[in-house]
Homo-oligomer: A and B are copies of this chain.
Amino acid sequence: MKIGRQEHRSSGLSTSNADTIIVRGKDLCGELLGKVGFTEYVWFLLTGTMPQPAQRKVLDATLVAIAEHGLVPSVQAARMTYAAAPEALQGAVAAGLLGCGSVILGAAESAGRLLADVVKRAGESDLKTAATAVVSEKRAVKQPIPGYGHPLHKGEDPRATRLFEVAAEAGLPDDHRRAAKQVEALLPELTGKQLVMNVSAAIPAVLLDAGFPVGALKGVPLLARTASLIAHLLEEQAKPIGFVLSHAAGKAIEYDGPVPPGFERGDS
C-alpha cells in the first residue's frame, strides 16, 4: 500500500561494497576510523563536513552538559525496565529515551526554533523588538517559553552559564546567545516571572551560533542521554535499585477509589 506522496528515492549517508564502506563520500576505514574522534564524526554525519575546532568544542560541551543529572525520570524508567527485562539492554535504553520529550530535554529544539526566529527578525528591526514580538506571540496563544526556569537551579543554571563561557572562549559569533539573554531579560516584564535561562536554551544558543542544523537539535540530548543511560544500566547490573525506586514511588501514592465492604488496605 502506498502511503503518502513521498518523492525521494535516495539517501546520501552511506553506501558500501564488499571491501569499502563509504560515509558521506569518505572511506570509513581509510579516512575516518582512527583519525577522527566520535564528536567530529557526529558533526560530519549530520552535516557532511568536518567541524572546525570551535564547532567540535561546542558540540562536545553540550553533550557533556546534558548527559547526566542523576536519577531523573528517564533514568528511573530505564532502571526499572532493566530490572524487569534484563535480557534486553536496548529496551531499557529505549524506555529511557522515550522520556526525552517536549517537557524534559526535548525543549532544546523548541527553544532553538524560538531563538532562530528572534535572530531572524532582529535582522529586520533590533534584538529587543524581535525578542519582545516572539515572546509576546507565544504568550498570546498561551504557549510556554521553552528553555527558561528550572525546578532545582533557580538562581542560575550553572550549565547554561558555563556553556556560554565555552562558546565565547571558542570564539564563536554570539547572535543566538545574545537572543537567549535578551529573552531572559524580557521575561519578568512579559510573563511576570523571574525565569532563568536553563540548559535547554543554552544548548541551542551555542550550537546555532556554531552553525549546527536546527533539525538535529533534539538529537543532542538524545545522544548525550544514551551515554548516561548506559552508565546507569552498568551500575544497575552491579547495584540494582530498579525495584527499590518503584517501591518507594508506589508508596507515595494513595488509592483514592472505592473498595468493596470488608476490604482491608494493605501494602499494595
Q: A151 and B85: CB pair below 8 A?
A: no
Give the chain B neighbours of A228 by CB distance below 8 A.
Answer: 13, 45
Task: Name the contact of A17 in the complex, choosing from B8, B20, B230, B265 (C-beta under 8 A).
Answer: B265
Q: B239 and A34: CB pair below 8 A?
A: no
Contact size range, A: 35 or more
Nearest B residue to A216 by beta-carbon distance?
B234
Q: A77 and B81: CB pair below 8 A?
A: yes
Task: State whether the Cβ of A100 lies closer than 8 Å to any Cβ in chain B.
Answer: yes
Q: How far is the CB of A43 from chain B (nearest CB, A)?
A: 10
What's the Cα separation between A192 and B251 when bound, in Å? 32
Contacts A22-B259, A90-B85, A152-B16; A45 near B68 (Cβ below 8 A): yes
Give the chain B neighbours of A16 by CB distance below 8 A.
Answer: 1, 69-70, 152, 266, 268
Q: B13 and A235: CB pair below 8 A?
A: yes
Q: A159 and B20: CB pair below 8 A?
A: no
Q: A85 and B88: CB pair below 8 A?
A: yes
Contacts A165-B34, A230-B222, A240-B6; A19 near B158 (Cβ below 8 A): yes
What's the Cα separation between A63 and B18 when bound, in Å? 21
Q: Mark A234-268, 1 if CB is under 8 A from B, else 0.
A: 11011111111111111111111111100111111
Give the chain B neighbours of A216 by CB distance below 8 A.
Answer: 230-231, 234
Give the chain B neighbours of A135 by CB distance below 8 A.
Answer: none
By a beta-carbon cutoff of 8 Å, the part of chain A in contact with chain B is: 1-4, 6, 8-34, 36-39, 41-42, 45-46, 48, 57, 59-61, 63-65, 67-74, 76-77, 80-81, 83-95, 97-106, 109, 151-155, 158-159, 161-163, 165-166, 169, 213, 215-216, 218-219, 222-224, 226-228, 230-235, 237-260, 263-268
Give the chain B neighbours of A46 by CB distance below 8 A.
Answer: 230-231, 234
Q: A95 and B93: CB pair below 8 A?
A: no
Give the chain B neighbours of A45 by CB distance below 8 A.
Answer: 67-68, 227-228, 230-231
Q: B80 and A74: CB pair below 8 A?
A: yes
What's the Cα separation between A218 and B146 when bound, in Å? 26
Q: B162 and A3: CB pair below 8 A?
A: no
Nearest B residue to A213 by beta-carbon distance?
B234
Q: How far is the CB of A99 from chain B (nearest CB, A)?
A: 4
Contacts A22-B263, A158-B20, A255-B15; A60 near B38 (Cβ below 8 A): yes
Most buried by B among A70, A84, A90, A258: A90
